[in-house]
Structure 1
Amino acid sequence: MTVLDRRHLLGAAGALLLPACTTGRVGTASAPPRCLPPVNVAADRVIRTAAGLRPFRPAGFRVERGALGDKALVHNYGHGGAGITLSWGTSKLAVELGLPGHSGAVAVIGAGIVGLTTARLVQEAGFPVTVYAAALPPDTTSNVSGGQIHAVSYFDRAAVTPAWLAQAERAEDYSWRRFQIMVGDDYGIRWVPTYVDGGSRQRPHMPAYQTLEPKAWPFGGEQLLRYDTMYVETGRFLRELAKDIQIGGGRILVRRFDTPAAVAALPETLVFNCTGLGAAALFGDTTLYPVRGQLAILLPQPEIQYAYSGRAGYMFPRSDGIVLGGTYEQYVDDPTPQPAAIAQIIASHRRLFTGFRC
């Protein structure tokens, strides 16, 4: 799969479905008309581009306890396109596996969002923690993420078990509740109404879910959905979370681990492996592979207070810019934005928003 395949991408037939003014309903109850200002999409408004490598496992994230010599080793990686969404939840599962019966200091390997949330939960449980990482924010995959709290593209349904799905539901639920108590400017988390061009069943954690009336859509089409969710300005969030860890007495050290023996040499007797894609080489997980996602970030538009996902890709508004994305490139390990893909992202969103009237 290459450019503009998913974010879900929840594809639907027909032309662009996102309305400038829409009337919605939940059951038979009507919602007031909503007028949406268009995003000003132009190549000369792009302030930066980025590409991130999602750590995808067909069997989904791995939260599992094992041993490394005389150490306890707890894995917490492989979140695919849902690393932000599931971070607090899988970290909660991991610390529940690792901390009971343990005494003394704890090591966390990896300083992306999964490593930092794991470290913070370790601290909250009363243990001293050191985070070891080859790269620190802003040079992590998590920094490149769009930041929507909505779990997609993180497992192959044919490869997972009912027990794993129950675990995933627990993780998503805990993350959902944890992010809510952090909403605000400090951590860069806010609620944003989200429009989905195409079919998507209602799931937990989709408040204000609506199916909008087709007759209200100026561009035609078959279905448009709306729900509310949280969005994380990832750079700000990671920076504040790292500060919280350090204020709590934790250490964050730059160190690269090339072999399990190097991990085994750490002084801590409990280690959490939150290395993402790095787990493939470090611990021999041959099921793990990269999925590249590319982004174009436009100049900020404060009036854009909604998000979009669909055939054109996806658009998330943030204070540091308007995030445009939509690529899902499997087995691509080059974290370099490609001009042709960026141009296609810009062109597809320009087509979407051209003609919006408010």
Structure 2
Amino acid sequence: MMDRRIFLRNVNLAAASAALSGCMRRPVGAALGAGMLPVNLPETACGLPPVRVSAEREIRTVVGLRPFRPSGFRVATEMVGETKVVHNYGHGGGGITLSWGTSKLAADLGLPGHVGSVAVLGSGAVGLATARLVQEAGFDVTIYTKALPPETTSNIAGGQWFPASVYDPDKTLTPEFTEQFKAAARYGYRRYQIMTDPKYGIRWMRNYVLSDTPWHSPLEGGQFGLIRDLLPEIKELQSGEHPFAQKYVRQYDGMIVEPPIYLPAMLTDVRIAGGKIVVREIKSLDEVQMLPQKLIFNCTGLGAKALFGDEELTPVRGQLTFLVPQPEVTYATLYENTYMFSRRDGVLLGGTHEEGSWDLTQNIETKTAILKKQAELFGGMRRC
């Protein structure tokens, strides 16, 4: 009689071999079986499946406010009475992207020499990353938060790994911030790579940046300049190498972090590591001083405007419309002021950037305009 362990091992090896060979033969855009991973980084852009855009396919529209500072995010210390506060907020459209990186900067700034437990204000992507780094350094942590996922600003984010709209590109960045920005981007980029697991909702994704006119800056400049080395195989595609109607196409590989999966998983990690969660809004500096922890990481995002008097902090309104999921669509596009990310919870269409607006109501005209432009984009795709 065959040994049961040998039998099971042979069955598993055969199944793995069949699955692997099936994946290797699957063309771009082929349907995916249950439990099978999508082909996120195809060898060619030809044959990309288009997004089916129509008002009838909408499943929800949401509005969120990005915490933007023209000079960039703030990682700095401040004494509030006898309490040391380390600020970590103001990430604009790069909150999820830079959360691990700026949290590493904040932890390195606040933890050396500290004795005792630590508090974190906020439970969005930045607050949760900060809490985990504090725990990894060996400290007990308590998170004080006004709301828990899915009621945080981070839940409204698209989640593409790219530090977009983090600072005003027309402003001259200080050398200090430039170094912080590059360090945060690099640490976050490496950290997310070791978290590409279905548990966290993180995967690699190919991006296509489209234009009808020549690029204003080379690949080494503009928004790509400071993080050029973090965009592997970035290149310009020639006519015949892509299915888009636009003449100018840039391609690069990055990651996408799906907030509905990632944030609960991070919250679970904090709890497993012994972290405490207190649902409580901190409304004044007096309340900050009254907390038992004497080292506090401020990750309150827009809340820091009122709580700590940051007058530079301003909201940037963003509206996103989700369509019925299309599992065969695994890429992202950026065209003029609109973008598309394909996630497991839906195909996300966005493109609004309204600085100074606190309005959280849905704008029907904005949604209609985005749907129209995206329908034209994907309706114009052709085979190459």
Which of 225, 247, 255 is equivalent to 2:250? 225
Instruction: For 1:267-286, list aligned pairs within 5 A.
Output: 267-286=292-311
Say whether 1:114 aligns with 2:139.
Answer: no
Q: Which residue does the alignment assign to 1:7?
A: none
Aligned-residue RMSD, C-alpha: 1.7
Could you state the TM-score of these two structures normalised by the residue count of structure 1? 0.89
Deviations 1:273-322 (A, max 9, x none): 00000000000000000001110001100110111011261000111110
Structure exhibiting the larger radius of gyration computed from Cα positions: 2
* Shift in Å, 1:214: 3.0
Aligned-partner Cα distance in 2 for 1:92–1:243: 20
Which of 104, 127, 151 is equivalent to 1:92? 104
Deviations 1:49-68 (A, max 9, x none): 11110000011000001211
The residue identity in structure 1 corresponding to 2:269 is D
Q: Does 64-73 or 159-168 show the bigger shift?
A: 159-168
Deviations 1:136-193 (A, max 9, x none): 1101110000001011111124252012101110000000000000002110000011
Deviations 1:70-127 (A, max 9, x none): 1111000000010011000000000001100101110000111000100010000000
- Aligned residue for 2:76, secondary structure, equals strand
Q: Which residue does the alignment assign to 1:130?
A: 142
Aligned-partner Cα distance in 2 for 1:244–1:81: 25
Question: CA contact under 8 A between 2:46 and 2:242: conserved in structure 1?
Answer: no
Q: Which residue does the alignment assign to 2:17?
A: none
Say whether 1:54 aligns with 2:66.
Answer: yes
Say whether 1:236 aligns with 2:248.
Answer: no
Which of 349, 354, 357 is equivalent to 1:324? 349
Say whether 1:78 aligns with 2:103.
Answer: no
Instruction: For 1:206-225, list aligned pairs within 5 A.
Output: 206-214=231-239, 216=241, 220-225=245-250
Question: CA contact under 8 A between 2:58 and 2:323: conserved in structure 1?
Answer: yes
Aligned-partner Cα distance in 2 for 1:87–1:288: 17
Say whether 1:163 aligns with 2:176.
Answer: yes
Q: Which residue does the alignment assign to 1:10?
A: none
Say whether 1:342 aligns with 2:367.
Answer: yes
The alignment covers a number of residue pairs equal to 330
What residue ranges of structure 1 are gaps of 5+ in the alignment?
1-19, 22-30
Is the alpha carbon distance of 1:32 and 1:41 closer, same or farther for their aligned partners in structure 2, counting shifts above 3 Å?
A: closer
Could you state the TM-score of these two structures normalised by the residue count of structure 2? 0.83
Higher helix share: 2
* Shift in Å, 1:34: 2.3
Aligned-partner Cα distance in 2 for 1:355–1:118: 44
Deviations 1:234-258 (A, max 9, x none): 1110000000000000011111111
Q: Which residue does the alignment assign to 2:154?
A: 142
- Aligned residue for 2:229, secondary structure, equals coil
Aligned-partner Cα distance in 1 for 2:181–2:54: 39
Question: CA contact under 8 A between 1:214 and 1:221: conserved in structure 2?
Answer: no
Q: Which residue does the alignment assign to 1:183?
A: 196
Question: CA contact under 8 A between 1:315 and 1:322: conserved in structure 2?
Answer: yes
* Shift in Å, 1:222: 4.0
Aligned-partner Cα distance in 2 for 1:159–1:266: 38
* Shift in Å, 1:356: 2.7
Aligned-partner Cα distance in 2 for 1:33–1:155: 32
Question: CA contact under 8 A between 2:209 and 2:249: conserved in structure 1?
Answer: yes
Aligned-partner Cα distance in 2 for 1:312–1:353: 15
- Aligned residue for 1:185, secondary structure, equals coil
Aligned-partner Cα distance in 1 for 2:61–2:282: 29
Aligned-partner Cα distance in 2 for 1:267–1:144: 32
Aligned-partner Cα distance in 2 for 1:84–1:33: 27
The residue identity in structure 2 corresponding to 1:306 is Y
The residue identity in structure 2 corresponding to 1:320 is D
Question: CA contact under 8 A between 2:118 and 2:140: conserved in structure 1?
Answer: yes
* Shift in Å, 1:221: 4.1
Aligned-partner Cα distance in 1 for 2:50–2:365: 24
What residue ranges of structure 2 are gaps of 5+ in the alignment?
1-27, 30-42, 221-227
- Aligned residue for 1:120, secondary structure, equals helix
- Aligned residue for 1:290, secondary structure, equals strand
Q: Which residue does the alignment assign to 2:21?
A: none
Is the alpha carbon distance of 1:312 and 1:273 closer, same or farther for their aligned partners in structure 2, counting shifts above 3 Å?
A: closer
Identity %: 51
Is the alpha carbon distance of 1:350 and 1:71 closer, same or farther for their aligned partners in structure 2, counting shifts above 3 Å?
A: same
Say whether 1:298 aligns with 2:323.
Answer: yes
* Shift in Å, 1:336: 2.3
Question: CA contact under 8 A between 2:46 and 2:241: conserved in structure 1?
Answer: no
Aligned-partner Cα distance in 2 for 1:248–1:33: 43
Identify the structure with bigger relative contact order (alpha carbons < 8 Å, sequence gap 6+): 1
- Aligned residue for 1:337, secondary structure, equals coil
Is the alpha carbon distance of 1:93 and 1:35 closer, same or farther for their aligned partners in structure 2, counting shifts above 3 Å?
A: same
